[in-house]
Amino acid sequence: MSRLPGLFPLLRVYRRRYVSAMLDWTTCPAVERVPDRVSGAWVFKGTRLPVTTLFENLEAGASVDEFLQWYEGVTREQVLEVLRHAERSLTLRA
């Protein structure tokens, strides 16, 4: 699963609709927000890596496999859960 078909329209919508109004990440089990860590940004659970890093890399053309190689503390399950959560959130709000 190096590339995800149909992901780029999702990324464009995500960036356009949620740059200023973020998704509600409170129901996504793959992420956490700790006020004293990374300025309170939503990060992949157990890491200091902001969730936005995933979307920025995918939008720039990286594959999920590349992202996982570059950011070893993040699991495939976390990435897929974040993408599913974003998709569900966009579908509910569309």
Read off the CATH number of the domain in which 59 is found: 1.10.10.10
In sequence order, what are the beta bridge partners of 32? Answer: 43
> What is the reported pTM?
0.76
Residue 82 covered by a domain: yes
Confidence of residue 24 (pLDDT cuts 50, 70, 90): confident
Residue 21 has pLDDT above 50, yes or no: no
Residue 2 covered by a domain: no
Tally of domains within the chain: 1
Instruction: Report pLDDT for 14.
Output: 54
Residue 91 has pLDDT above 90, yes or no: no
Q: Percent of the chain scored above 90 by pLDDT? A: 57
SS3 of residue 4 by DSSP: coil
| DSSP secondary structure letter of residue 35 | T
Q: Which domain holds residue 65?
A: 7-93
Residue 70 has pLDDT above 80, yes or no: yes
Residue 15 has pLDDT above 50, yes or no: yes
Instruction: Report pLDDT for 19.
Output: 37
Residue 25 has pLDDT above 70, yes or no: yes
How far out from the chain centre does Cα 39 lie? 17
